[in-house]
Structure 1
Amino acid sequence: MSDAAIAALVASNPGQATVEEYTIVYRVLAQRVPCRMLVFGVGRDTPLWLDVNRGGTTVFLENVKRWADFSRQASPTAIVHDLSYGWTRRFMWPLLKRMSPERLFLRELPRDVLETPWDVILVDAPRGTNWKAPGRMKSVYTASVLAAKSGADVFVHDCHRAVERETADHFLGPTRFVTQAGSMRHYRFR
């Protein structure tokens, strides 16, 4: 995919990832295709991930029904699993400080998601724009467990926000940090 194609996607999807953020994911994905890619979140960029990973397996997890339905309609070949997160961002600090992190693991995921050795994991959901939203602590923790089993590259978007940044640092670890573009961070478990 060319820089122009990524720029066109960004222009058609305002308020989402920047060209630089999409590019760091694209470059790693392009080296590993066809591969097994897990994406927390769907949106107007769903067709991008399906196209880039053509011939591979791309699975999406979404907690907002209208976005899941939109993606299924816009990309009929997309595998989209509905998901519920339960806790909101306001519980992040007590969870990290007083509870065992295993309580953050998304055990209700389909068996095929839990058992697949993922190559690339992108955490771009759920919403984390306010303290009543779920935030990405469960997504990041679950990604860290799945990535540790398979040696995946993990990307976490919106690391300008405290929940995303702190949980990524805590669960993915500074020794696995590769790079950052804008608010997209890349970690490697190989």
Structure 2
Amino acid sequence: MKTSAKFIVLHPSVHKSGGGGPTATSHRAWLAVFVLFFIFTFGFTLITTRDAAKTAADDGVSKSELPKHIIDALLFYASVNISSSDERMTPAEVKSISAVLRHCAAPCNFLVFGITHETLLWNSLNHDGRTVIIDERSYLVSKLEERHPYIEAYDVLFTTKVSELYDLIEHYKGEIKGECRPVQNLLFSDCKLAINDLPNHLYDVAWDVILIDGPKGHTAAAPGRMAVIFTAGVLARSKRGGAARTHVFVHEFERDVESVCSDEFLCRENLVETKGSLGHFVIGKMDADRNRFEFCPNSDSSVSKST
């Protein structure tokens, strides 16, 4: 406004400049009016535009921004050290899981066993659905929730060991019509392979996709994935509501525990695809009233100890 005040020259000195008659004075007056009108219009437009932009940002524009969990995932994978020796999935393996999530009817219920390098990615790829992470390391679960409070994660205590694989298989065979049957409420199961200490509400969820990438199973003393694969097989066959089939992915599928337990509880006839170390099974619901107790009725699932 200081500029406009100096520009208005309607001052007695104007009439002392000489040669300025009534016509010149009239022109100066009209010029001053025009300039004042321009300044007022410009100022009004600037103020109203700024207010309108602020209102739009408050009401609508901010909603078009990427969700925080997607931003976090992008930042994490953009800054990660690609030379790290951590075990990760290959692009083909990730693409296989992503394709199923993309075609899953929303909201997609995605259960993931194992906190891994891809954890933030799974949560972001399923951004319209519900993703639940399960891991045996309580400190990692707490750390994950602290850094990313939008992620739903729980810890579970595994009592199994890789060295007990074949003993657990024998136990399951002896209890297949009892505590280890393929259709049951896992919350009340006494099967040694059943995971029954998750939060109660998770057993009522109709899981559309289950990914098994944990717990650790590289040593004989590690928990191994026997219980997780068994539990995934029961959840898929026992679920109520949702899609008729459940997609179950098993990572590091070539290892003994993963291979043996997948044959027993997920069944080779349900294996639809393999990508690298990832096995993709599609498991249908099973009617508990038909008195069927086989996990894999169309295959010989007998297992003997390897020598």
Fold agreement, TM-score > 0.5: yes
Aligned to 2:220: 131
> Superposed, which structure 2 residues align to 1:42-57 within 5 Å?
42-57=115-130
The alignment partner of 2:103 has SS state of helix
| Contact 1:42/1:62, CA 8 A, preserved across alignment | yes
Aligned to 2:88: 16
Deviation at 1:62, TM superposition (A): 0.9
Aligned to 1:28: 100
The alignment partner of 1:187 has SS state of strand
| Contact 2:162/2:219, CA 8 A, preserved across alignment | yes
1:13-63 deviations in Å (ceiling 9; x for gaps): 732211111111111111114300001111332211111111211111110
TM-score norm. by structure 1 comes to: 0.89
1:77-111 deviations in Å (ceiling 9; x for gaps): 11111101111111110110244362211111211
The alignment partner of 2:279 has SS state of strand
Aligned to 1:159: 253
In 2, Cα distance between the equivalents of 1:66 and 1:129? 20
Deviation at 1:177, TM superposition (A): 0.6
Point out 4+ residue stretches in structure 1 off by more than 4 angstroms.
7-10
The alignment partner of 1:121 has SS state of strand
The alignment partner of 1:179 has SS state of strand
In 2, Cα distance between the equivalents of 1:24 and 1:80? 23
TM-score norm. by structure 2 comes to: 0.57
% identical equivalent positions: 31
Paired residue type of 2:219: N
Matched, 1:82 2:176: no
Change (3 A) 1:161 1:20: same
The alignment partner of 1:188 has SS state of strand
Q: How many residues align?
A: 186
Give ranges in structure 2 of 5+ residues lacking alignment.
1-69, 181-190, 240-244, 285-307
Aligned to 1:108: 197
The alignment partner of 2:280 has SS state of strand
Q: Find 1:37's aligned residue among 74, 97, 110.
A: 110
| Contact 1:127/1:135, CA 8 A, preserved across alignment | yes
In 2, Cα distance between the equivalents of 1:185 and 1:161? 11
Larger radius of gyration: 2
More strand per residue: 1
